[in-house]
Structure 1
Amino acid sequence: MEWNAIANFIKPELLIVVAVCWVIGYILKQTPRVPDWTIIYLVTLGAVVLVSLTLGFNAESVLQGILCGAVAVYGNQLVKQARKSGDDNDLS
Structure 2
Amino acid sequence: MLADYIHFMKDDFWFIVPALWFIGYACKRTPFIPDWLIVWILLCIGVLASCFFYGWSVRAIADGVIATGIAVFSHQIVKQTSARDQIE
TM-score w.r.t. the length of structure 1 is 0.86
Number of the residue aligned with 2:19: 20
Number of the residue aligned with 1:59: 58
Once the 2 structures are TM-superposed, how far is the Cα of residue 53 of structure 1 from its aligned partner? 0.8
Larger Rg: 1
Query: 4+ runs of 1 displaced by more than 6 Å?
Result: none
Once the 2 structures are TM-superposed, how far is the Cα of residue 81 of structure 1 from its aligned partner? 0.6
Structure 1: any 5+ residue segments left out of the alignment? none
Output the amino acid matched with 2:21.
Answer: W
Post-superposition CA distance 1:40-84 (Å, at most 9, x none)? 111011000111111111110100000001110111111001110
Residues matched between the structures, number: 86
Number of the residue aligned with 1:41: 40
Structure 2: any 5+ residue segments left out of the alignment? none
Q: Give me the CA root mean square deviation.
A: 1.4
Output the amino acid matched with 1:19.
Answer: P
Q: Kindly, what percent of the aligned residue pairs are identical?
A: 28
